[in-house]
Structure 1
Amino acid sequence: MEACMDFLDQLVPDISLKILMYLDDPSDLVRVSSVSRAWRHFVIANGVLKQFCLRMFPQLSRVAHVIELNKCKAEEPEEVGSSYSSEWESLERDHQVYAHLAGVCTSFLVGDCISKAICASSTDNYPQESIDNTLQPADIVARMPSYWSSKGQTNPAVPETLTYNLVNEFCVISEINMRPFQAYFQLGSPIYSAKSVRFRMGHSKIPADLGNDHLSGVSAGSADDKFIWTYTSQEFPMAQESCLQKFKLPEPVLCVGGILQIELLGRVQRQEMDGLFYICVSYVQVVGQSLSPVFGVEILEPSGKFVLKHDMLCKFHAKSSIPENQHENTDGDLQRHLIDWQHILDMLQGNGVIEIDELEMGEEEDE
Structure 2
Amino acid sequence: MFPQLCRVARVVELNQEDRMEVGSSSNWMEWESMVKDHRVYAFLAQCCTSFVSKNCIQEAICASSTDNYPEESIINTLEAGDVVERRASYWSSKGHKDRRVPETLVYKLVSDLCVITELSIQPFQAFFQPGLPIYSATAVRFRMGHPKSPDFKSDLMDESCHDDEFNWTYTSQEFQMAQEKRLQKFKLPEPVLCIGGYLQIELLGRVQRQEMDGLYYICVSHVQVMGHSLAPALGVEGLDSSGNFVLKHDLQADNSQPGLPENKPCSSSTVHLERRVRTLEQILEMLRGNQIEYVFADEDEDESDEEFVF
Using the size of structure 2 for normalisation, the TM-score is: 0.81
Match in the other structure for 1:168 = 111
1:136 aligned onto 2:79 = yes
Match in the other structure for 2:267 = 348
Question: Deviation of residue 175 (structure 1)?
Answer: 1.0
Q: What CA distance in whole angstroms lies between the structure 1 residues aligned with 2:185 and 2:269?
A: 42
Q: Is the 8 A contact 1:79 1:85 kept in 2?
A: no
Q: Is the 8 A contact 2:167 2:241 kept in 1?
A: no
**Identity fraction in percent:** 59
Question: Deviation of residue 298 (structure 1)?
Answer: 1.3
Match in the other structure for 1:331 = none
Q: 2:131 aligns with which of 188, 197, 218?
A: 188
- Supply the AA of the counterpart residue of 1:259: Y
Q: Is the 8 A contact 2:64 2:161 kept in 1?
A: no
Change (3 A) 1:97 1:349: farther
1:276 aligned onto 2:215 = yes
Q: 2:6 aligns with which of 46, 52, 61?
A: 61
- Supply the AA of the counterpart residue of 1:237: Q
Question: Deviation of residue 275 (structure 1)?
Answer: 1.1
Q: What CA distance in whole angstroms lies between the structure 1 residues aligned with 2:52 and 2:185?
A: 18
- Supply the AA of the counterpart residue of 1:93: K
Question: Deviation of residue 77 (structure 1)?
Answer: 4.9
State how 1:40-119 maps to structure 2 within 5 Å. 56-73=1-18, 75=19, 77=21, 85-119=28-62
CA deviation vs aligned residue, 1:219-269 (integer Å, no higher than 9, x gap): 676421211111111000000010000011111111111111100000111
Q: 1:149 aligns with which of 76, 92, 97?
A: 92
Q: Is the 8 A contact 2:155 2:161 kept in 1?
A: no
State how 1:302-313 maps to structure 2 within 5 Å. 302-313=241-252
Using the size of structure 1 for normalisation, the TM-score is: 0.69
CA deviation vs aligned residue, 1:305-344 (integer Å, no higher than 9, x gap): 111000011231225xxxxxxxxxxxxxx5xxx5xx43x9
SS of 2:133's equivalent in the other structure is coil
Larger-gyration structure (1/2): 2
Q: Is the 8 A contact 1:170 1:258 kept in 2?
A: yes
Measured on the aligned residues, the alpha-carbon RMSD in Å equals 2.6
Match in the other structure for 1:258 = 197
Q: What CA distance in whole angstroms lies between the structure 2 residues aligned with 1:289 and 1:192?
A: 30
Q: What CA distance in whole angstroms lies between the structure 2 residues aligned with 1:87 and 1:351?
A: 15
Q: Is the 8 A contact 2:39 2:266 kept in 1?
A: no
SS of 1:243's equivalent in the other structure is coil
Bigger helix fraction: 1
> Which ranges in structure 1 are unaligned for 5 or more consecutive residues?
1-55, 320-333, 356-367
Q: Is the 8 A contact 2:61 2:159 kept in 1?
A: no
> Which ranges in structure 2 are unaligned for 5 or more consecutive residues?
273-301, 303-310
Q: Is the 8 A contact 2:78 2:223 kept in 1?
A: yes
Q: Is the 8 A contact 1:203 1:259 kept in 2?
A: yes
Q: Is the 8 A contact 1:77 1:89 kept in 2?
A: no
Q: What CA distance in whole angstroms lies between the structure 2 residues aligned with 1:119 and 1:349?
A: 48
Q: Is the 8 A contact 2:105 2:202 kept in 1?
A: yes
Q: What CA distance in whole angstroms lies between the structure 2 residues aligned with 1:79 and 1:292?
A: 36
Change (3 A) 1:349 1:229: farther
Change (3 A) 1:315 1:99: farther
Q: What CA distance in whole angstroms lies between the structure 2 residues aligned with 1:308 and 1:137?
A: 34
Question: Deviation of residue 197 (structure 1)?
Answer: 0.2
State how 1:293-304 maps to structure 2 within 5 Å. 293-304=232-243
Match in the other structure for 1:30 = none
1:199 aligned onto 2:199 = no
Q: Is the 8 A contact 1:119 1:218 kept in 2?
A: no
Q: What CA distance in whole angstroms lies between the structure 2 residues aligned with 1:242 and 1:113?
A: 23
- Supply the AA of the counterpart residue of 2:69: Y
Question: Deviation of residue 138 (structure 1)?
Answer: 1.0
List structure 1 segments (4+ residues) > 6 angstroms apart after TM superposition: 218-221, 349-353
Q: What CA distance in whole angstroms lies between the structure 1 residues aligned with 2:268 and 2:125?
A: 54
